Amino acid sequence: MLSIPRGCPAWARRYHRSVAARIILGTQWGDEGKGKVTDFFAETADLVVRYQGGNNAGHTVVVGEERFALSLVPSGVMNPGCTPVIASGCVVDPGVLLDEIDMLASRGVDPSRLRLSSNAHLIMPYHRKLDAVKERYLGRQKIGTTKRGIGPAYADKYARQGIRVQDLFDTKILNDKLDIALAEKNKILTRVYNQLPMDALEITHQYQEYAERLRPYVDDTSLLVASAIESGRDVLFEGAQGTLLDIDHGTYPFVTSSNPTAGGALTGTGIGPKAIDEVIGVAKAYISRVGTGPFPTELSDEIGEAMVRIGGEYGTVTGRRRRCGWLDLVALRYAARVNSLTSLFVTKLDVLSGFETLNVATAYSSLGSHYTEFPRQQRVLYNCTPVLQELAGWETNISEVRNAADLPKEARAYLRFIEKDVGVPIRWVSVGPERSQVIDLTPTPAS
């Protein structure tokens, strides 16, 4: 049995009763509201662990009147009893991390508990540059990346040419690795992309400055997380991006370069599958995508426009407009399968208030065939048109609702339809950006 922290609010005490390690991940193309959901659970968590991605993520957390945009520091940092951890599966741009640490400190949030894996890979200036010039070079074929150097940093990691956090503290290794990297990168930058070369000395100086400031945060995070789980502490794994952006299971090549899916939490942290008790899939009540790539339920009409406007669908990191569309249950069933979801957290249901009717995709048709499973072939996915089920909408503003019984019956029917189709229980529904705007559907154990 887990210990319940003193002063823990009544609603939060319920989650404490039996669950020690939970993965919170996106079931769509990112921006599902993972930051808000993580912050909601972090109220009682001991550790919140980011296991993949880097500052391509943009997680907005709203606490009272304050809005925090986080890209690297886990959303649990807002809770003073919680240790935020950046695990080895992440790629870290040290300048961005330090800016975020400073931003938090200047706004009264104590970042000193942050732990950073010594095995995490660093995003270097040439990664950012290569990301940007490659996108330009691809033209109409571009991925629409965040240009934060994510892809090139992971490419170097897997080519075993990456520079890790621990290398910052060993000048010889840092210099040797940088020399090897620049010998190749400068040729690519100058000869392929017609760019100026980068200077090793300049980069070394800058990264050594970062090193001094990062030193207090660096740790063996695999050991830290495993020990916390072992001693029954409450550990949250916060996914960035989403299932459909997964490098192995997403809509390749229009994906990110890491594994946001549940398996990524294990490899990206250095723990085994038996350590995990719950996998919570965060699903927006509709769906959005930033960047290019197939999107079967996309709405390029005034309904999609209304979703963007009402839902404030603009990127936290890049400010880009997000493409919006009806909820895709084919994709959600797929996410349930590849992540072994144990429950769903539906967000932004409030955004759908006022739509006369709603639609959800239950299947696809493509190139003359009918698909109920997410297609594995790019060509099939590109040609998909959704088979839509129409459901009744509701008029009332639901952002103040806290009990399921107070939701309009059409909203309850919408949720029931999702739950039944996906076969995974919806345990929480979010009706606004603020921490308290959550409806708990968890059945209360019989007393």
The set of catalytic residues is 31, 59
44-103 positions binding ligand IMO, by CB under 6 A: 56-59
| Angle (CA) 253 258 263, round 5° | 115
Binding positions for ligand GDP, 348-367, rule CB under 6 A: 348, 350-351
**Taking CB under 6 A as the rule, does residue 25 contact ligand GDP?**
no
Closer by beta carbon to ligand IMO, 240 or else 349: 240
**Nearest-CA neighbor of 45 among 72, 86, 77, 1?**
77
CB neighbour list of residue 288: distance below 8 Å, 6 or more residues apart: 28, 29, 31, 307, 311, 313, 322, 323, 324, 325
Q: For residue 325, what is the DSSP state?
A: E
Q: How far is CA 97 from the centre of its chain?
A: 17
Tell me the C-alpha distance between 158 and 162, whole Å: 8
Number of residues that bind ligand GDP (CB under 6 A): 22
Residue 157 sits in the site that holds ligand GDP (CB under 6 A): no
Nearest CA-CA partner of 32 in 239, 249, 200, 225:
239
- Residue with Cβ nearer ligand GDP (263 or 311): 311
Long-range contacts of 406-410 (CB under 8 A, 24+ apart): 407/439
Contact 299, 324 (CB under 8 A): yes
- What is the spatial distance between Cα 60 and Cα 347, in angstroms, rounded to a whole number? 13
Binding-site string for Mg ion from residue 33 to residue 62, where x marks contact by CB under 5 A and - marks none = -------------------------x----
**31, 43, 234, 328: residue in contact with ligand IMO (rule CB under 6 A):** 31
- Of residues 91 and 441, the one with the C-beta less far from ligand IMO: 91
Q: Are 430 and 349 in contact (CB under 8 A)?
A: yes
Decide if 343 contacts 422 (C-beta within 8 A).
no
From Mg ion, ligand GDP, ligand IMO, none, which one binds at residue 162 (CB under 5 to 8 Å depending on kind)? none
Q: Look at the chain and count its residues.
A: 447
**31 contacts Mg ion (rule: CB under 5 A):** yes
Separation CA 176–CA 278 (nearest Å): 43
Residue 48 Cβ vs ligand IMO, minimum distance, rounded to whole Å? 14
Cβ nearer to ligand IMO, comparing 80 with 139: 139
Range 54-73, binding ligand GDP (CB under 6 A): 58-60, 62
Cα angle for residues 377, 154, 143 (degrees, 5° grid) = 45
Using CB under 6 A, which residues numbered 133 to 172 contact ligand IMO? 143-146, 148, 150-151
Nearest CB to ligand GDP, comparing residues 26 and 152: 26
Give the binding range for ligand GDP (CB under 6 A) out of 78-86, 112-120, 344-352, 377-385.
Answer: 344-352
Binding mask 171-210 for ligand IMO (x = CB under 6 A): ----------------------------------------
DSSP 180-200: HHHHHHHHIIIIIT------H
Q: Are 249 and 33 in contact (CB under 8 A)?
A: no
Q: Site for ligand IMO (CB under 6 A): which residue of 20, 21, 22, 26?
A: 26
Is residue 37 a contact residue for ligand IMO (CB under 6 A)? no
Binding residues for ligand GDP (CB under 6 A): 26, 30-36, 58-60, 62, 312, 316, 347-348, 350-351, 430-433
Which residues form the interface with Mg ion (CB under 5 A)? 31, 58, 316
Question: Which stretches of the chain bind ligand IMO, using CB under 6 A?
Answer: 26, 29-31, 56-59, 143-146, 148, 150-151, 240-242, 245, 254, 256-257, 290-291
